[in-house]
């Protein structure tokens, strides 16, 4: 399907995935007069609550996919692990954005790392691991400490095992259930940052400044902007994300997660991961910038000009994970704090239930 229509208000965007990212994309689309149709297999998908049109079906249900495609003008996705076959099937019926080739690269940590290093951009040293013997050889080459990561379907630290010494190989290989993997050298980073950038159909890129991210138990806890790094490094981070978006021929919002490492008094960036979608570390843009990452994604896929977002102050975003959502009333009572609750029924440990954003005057820091 090659013709890519320029959308107009009243048109419908199909979104694969029914989580909070789909929900916030649909809310942003609604503000621009666009409808969204959410397709997700889980009946209690929180994105269903904010749209008129929904399909609750499995990703391999071809008749349901066909009906969905017929009902929308373009198709986007809110998470990168939708089966490649689903994106491939839908592409015959309606344009799928961002380009499914991007999915093929970023769904698998090995081509993702090869793509990034192929651009001359640094990553943690890595090795392909297909067997226990290959793991042992990789540990001998890269040296412990290291992190074993499944190539596919890992997120928030899932599908990962830490290797502190060569003797940990057997346990780590079992822990990731003997799946195709990569071994990465453990990076003693100074801090973690990300850059959220949007690329429009005409190739223009609008990036937010570098964001500083703090994880707890592998889950994003807090993002602050601007990141506390030298300006030249922050500019380099934006250049890295721009380069990646351009090399992918990407249309939409993407995020690039990076480690800041210090060696011999010099700071360097290593790319950890590319997210071909709006990203948790960009949620601050709803309240802390003149245009959000969600609006930018919608503008880009619709074929509309991107906004040139400005930051409204120094911003802090805190995720409400699991039972932390029960503090909603406390945050509501804080002047200047915006509260976002995703409408997920079950409060489960590690589940992202909402977030809060504080926008503080620049001078106050």
User: Helices 84-91 and 62-71 meet at what angle, rounded to 10?
Assistant: 50
DSSP 209: P
Residue 142 CB, nearest approach to ligand AMP (Å): 10
* CA–CA gap between residue 158 and residue 137 (Å, rounded): 23
Window 68 to 127, contacts with ligand AMP (CB under 6 A): 124
DSSP 120: T
* CA–CA gap between residue 296 and residue 29 (Å, rounded): 10
Contact with ligand AMP (CB under 6 A) among 41, 83, 122, 157: 157
- From residue 102, how far is each of 62, 105, 112 by CA, in Å? 22, 5, 9
User: Which listed range, 16-24, 76-84, 183-191, 336-344, lies at the site for ligand AMP (CB under 6 A)?
Assistant: 183-191
**CB 321 within 8 Å of CB 314:** no
Contact with ligand AMP (CB under 6 A) among 192, 209, 236, 295: 192
User: Which listed range, 46-54, 83-91, 185-193, 290-298, lies at the site for ligand AMP (CB under 6 A)?
Assistant: 185-193
Element (H, E) at 197: strand 191-199
**CB 111 within 8 Å of CB 105:** yes
**Which of 218/330 has CB closer to ligand AMP?**
218
Contact between 154 and ligand AMP by CB under 6 A: the answer reads: yes
Residue 81 CB, nearest approach to ligand AMP (Å): 12
**Which of 238/270 has CB closer to ligand AMP?**
270
Contact with ligand AMP (CB under 6 A) among 52, 141, 174, 218: 218
Contact with ligand AMP (CB under 6 A) among 272, 281, 293, 319: 272
Contact between 147 and ligand AMP by CB under 6 A: the answer reads: yes
Contact between 215 and ligand AMP by CB under 6 A: the answer reads: yes
Q: What is the DSSP string of 296-342?
A: HHHHHHHTPPPP---B-SEEEEEEEEGGGGGGHHHHHTSTTEEEEE-
Contact with ligand AMP (CB under 6 A) among 184, 212, 236, 316: 184
**Which of 8/215 has CB closer to ligand AMP?**
215
φ, ψ for residue 299, nearest 5 deg: -60, -45
Residue number, nearest CB to ligand AMP: 187
Contact between 186 and ligand AMP by CB under 6 A: the answer reads: yes
Contact with ligand AMP (CB under 6 A) among 26, 187, 301, 356: 187
**CB 274 within 8 Å of CB 112:** yes
**Which of 167/214 has CB closer to ligand AMP?**
214
* CA–CA gap between residue 29 and residue 272 (Å, rounded): 30
DSSP 289: B
**Which of 73/273 has CB closer to ligand AMP?**
273
Residues of the shown chain interacting with ligand AMP in the complex, contacts defined by CB under 6 A: 124, 147, 154, 157, 184, 186-187, 192, 215, 218, 257, 272-273
């Amino acid at each position: 399907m090659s013709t890519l229509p320029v959308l107009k208000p009243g048109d419908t965007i199909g979104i694969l995935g029914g989580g909070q990212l789909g929900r916030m994309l649909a809310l942003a689309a609604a503000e621009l007069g666009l409808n969204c149709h959410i397709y997700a297999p889980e009946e209690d998908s929180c994105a269903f609550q904010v749209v008129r049109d929904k399909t609750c079906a499995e990703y391999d249900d071809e008749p349901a996919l066909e009906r969905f495609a017929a009902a929308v003008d373009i198709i986007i996705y809110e998470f990168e692990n939708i089966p490649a076959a689903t994106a491939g099937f839908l592409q015959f019926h309606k344009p799928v954005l961002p380009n499914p080739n991007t999915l093929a690269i970023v769904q698998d940590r090995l081509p993702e790392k090869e793509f990034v290093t192929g651009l001359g951009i640094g990553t943690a040293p890595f090795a392909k691991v297909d067997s226990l013997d290959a793991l042992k050889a990789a540990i001998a080459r890269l040296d412990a400490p290291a992190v074993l990561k499944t190539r596919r379907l890992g997120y928030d630290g899932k599908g990962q095992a830490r290797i502190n010494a060569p003797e940990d190989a057997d346990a780590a290989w079992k822990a990731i259930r003997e799946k195709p993997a990569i071994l990465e050298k453990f990076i003693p980073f100074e801090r973690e940052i990300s850059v959220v950038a949007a690329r429009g159909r005409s190739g223009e890129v609008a990036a937010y400044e570098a964001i500083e991210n703090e994880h707890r138990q592998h889950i994003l806890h807090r993002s602050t902007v601007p990141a506390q790094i030298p300006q030249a490094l922050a500019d380099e981070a934006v250049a890295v994300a721009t380069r990646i978006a351009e090399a992918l021929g990407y249309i939409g919002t993407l995020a690039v997660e990076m480690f800041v490492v210090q060696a011999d008094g010099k700071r360097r960036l290593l790319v950890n991961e590319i997210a071909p979608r709006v990203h948790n570390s960009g949620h601050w843009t709803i309240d802390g910038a003149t245009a959000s990452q969600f609006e930018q994604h919608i503008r880009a896929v619709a074929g509309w000009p991107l906004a040139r977002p400005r930051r409204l102050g120094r911003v802090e975003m805190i995720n409400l994970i699991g039972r932390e959502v029960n503090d909603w009333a406390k945050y509501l009572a804080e002047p200047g704090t915006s509260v976002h609750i995703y409408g997920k029924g079950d409060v489960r440990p590690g589940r992202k239930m909402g977030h809060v954003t504080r926008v503080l005057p620049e001078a106050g820091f």
